[in-house]
Every structure is written in C-alpha cells, then in structure tokens.
Amino acid sequence: MFNAILVDQPGSAAKIVRLGESELPEASVTVDVAWSTINYKDGLALTGKSPILRKFPIVPGIDLAGVVTASSHPAWKPGDRVVMNGAGIGESRWGGLSQRARVDGDWLVRVPEAFDLRQAMAIGTAGYTAMLCVLALERQGVTPVSGEVLVTGASGGVGSVAIAVLAGLGYSVTASTGKLEQGDYLRNLGAGAVIDRHELSQPGKPLQKERWAAVVDSVGSHTLVNACAQTRYRGTVAACGLAQGMDFPATMAPFILRGVTLCGVESVMAPMPLRLEAWARLARDLDPRKLEMMTTGIGLGDAIAAAERILAGQVRGRIVVDVNH
C-alpha cells in the first residue's frame, strides 16, 4: 500500500488516500516516486478551479522523479533514475503526487548525472519549459550581444529558471514581476533590472519604443501584447504561459513592421529529442546554487494547501513535494 492524492470525480475535493499497486493503471514502467512538484496547472487541478483533469478517478501531478522498480520497456530497468514531465500525466493519466506510479516508458527521461532526484523536480515542468524557451530564442539567432531580454512572471517557476539560465549564459535580463519585494531574490538569480508588471499589464499602443531583443513570457494577454510591441526590430518572443489570460488583443504591427517573431512554446507533448536536448542543456547551464535558492520543499500532506497558494500568487520559485513525508 502507498499514499497518493486522489480526485474521485469532477468537482470533488482532492484527498490523500491509501492505494494498492493493483489499482495503478496499466503501463510499461513502475516507478517508486521520490519527489513531485506543485505547478500552476497542478494548482488548478487540485482545487478544481479549471477542468485540467480529464479522467476519473485520477492522481494529479504533472511531474515526477523517482527510481524504476519494474519495467517491460526495453529502455528501462530497475534502479534507473527517471523524470517525467507532462505527456498527459496529472491530466488524462495518473500523475506524480503519489508514492508509486505506473507510466509509459516512451516518455521517461533519464535524470542527468548533474542532478539528484530533488533537483530534477526543482526543475520540473517549469524549468524544462524555461529551457525550451531559451532554445527557441537561440534558434532564432538571439545571443547575449543581441541586447536586453525581458522575462515576465519573473518570480514564478518558469521565470526564475529562465532568469538563472539566461544570466548564466551572459544575457542582460530584465525581470517583470508583481512582487517588487522579491527584487533582491530576482537580482540574486541574475536579473540586471526589475520592473513592475503593471508597466506591461494594461492595454497599450500597437507599436511602442523598441527595447527588448527577446522576451520569455509566461503571462499572456496584455502583458504579451505589450512585450511584442516593445520588442526590437527582428527580435523574438517565446510565449509559454497564460497567467494573465488566454486572450491576445494585439495587432499585426510588431510582426509586419518590425519583423518580430512570436514563438509558441509547448512542453506537454514535446518530442523526445527536444526533451533530451532541454535536459542536457539544463545540466550544463543551470547553476545548482541558484536552483536551490528558488526551491521550497513540502510534504505530500501540504500539497493541497500549496495549490491554493500558487493560484493566489503567494508562491516564489519552485515547490517540490517529498511524497514520502
């Protein structure tokens, strides 16, 4: 028997239950989970405030890291350290907020030697998505000499990792946040400047003064529109989130008149070669000391309360969940 968070049906409250291994879904690899996380999407799932969960009953949690205990998949054997992000877990498939999981081996990634299991989850979907954004900028030719890079939603998980990685690569980073009291935290991660998110969150002109060579945006809505309107000629914007909203009330002006590129970054079903590239780059380019700086650990019993806090904007950086405590 093992502990897990379970949601029985749409609208029902998440609760901690005891489950037997026979209750796990059929899949090729069984994992003893060591750590999971609480992301914004997990907050929505655990509180029922958005229809994230698509199958019931279900264990939420879009991330997990642990050790393989059984496998019928040729790529994995007992003792392998693995991480899984997205691919439907915690949404349409049972996820990581459990002491044990059974998952499709095709979507597992080997934990890089540079990281322990806790660090792998401190990165999690948020950090992996942040690296996908950095890769998108690089593929468009953005380099540290291109100019200033804006990171929105800066004190969140994606923003925190993006700042740490970009600063480590030599970029000049400006952090946009609604938590100006976190200015020292953001500067310690590597931000050269911190601005109030209200400078970007209200409706603005279709074209504004050119400022950013590139943008990593996890906010969407008017923030993304204004970021595009302020992006320099032939600059690039990587958009991966919608904390402010799904709307995009923009004009074509930045794209037609300045040649700005807007790259959508999707992490849930990203192909395996891209996943492996992102994790390899995180192992190379993310300073473990900065990763620890942005990470808070909790036990499985605290995960449901943490979901409420993340939706209320009361969380800084990353929350990792020790599912065995």
Instruction: Give pLDDT tens digits for 124-175.
Output: 999 999 999 999 999 999 999 999 999 999 999 999 999 999 999 999 999 9
- CATH code of the domain in which 53 resides: 3.90.180.10
Final residue in a domain of this structure, among 264, 285, 304: 264
- As a whole number of angstroms, the distance between CA 249 and CA 126 comes to 25
Q: Are residues 146 and 229 in the same domain?
A: yes
Tell the burial category of 79 from Cβ atoms under 10 Å away from its Cβ (0-12, 13-18, 19+): exposed
Domain count, the chain: 2
- CATH code of the domain in which 202 resides: 3.40.50.720
Task: Give me the amino acid identity at 123.
Answer: I
Q: Are residues 63 and 175 in the same domain?
A: no
**What is the residue range of 247's domain?**
125-264
What pLDDT sits at residue 97?
98
284 domain-assigned: no
SS3 of 295, please?
strand
Scanning the chain, the segments in alpha helix (DSSP H) are 40-47, 117-139, 157-168, 183-189, 221-229, 253-257, 272-285, 288-293, 303-311
120 domain-assigned: no
What pLDDT sits at residue 50?
85
Closest to 321 measured CA to CA, from 91, 120, 154, 164: 120
Tell the burial category of 56 from Cβ atoms under 10 Å away from its Cβ (0-12, 13-18, 19+): exposed
- As a whole number of angstroms, the distance between CA 137 and CA 128 comes to 15
pLDDT in tens, 251-268: 999 999 999 999 999 999
Q: Are residues 89 and 142 in the same domain?
A: no
What is the β-pairing status of strands 212-217 and 231-239?
Answer: parallel
pLDDT in tens, 33-90: 999 999 999 999 999 888 899 999 999 999 999 999 999 999 999 999 999 999 999 9
Q: Are residues 254 and 316 in the same domain?
A: no
Q: Are residues 24 and 92 in the same domain?
A: yes
What pLDDT sits at residue 11?
83
pLDDT in tens, 170-203: 999 999 999 999 999 999 999 999 999 999 999 9
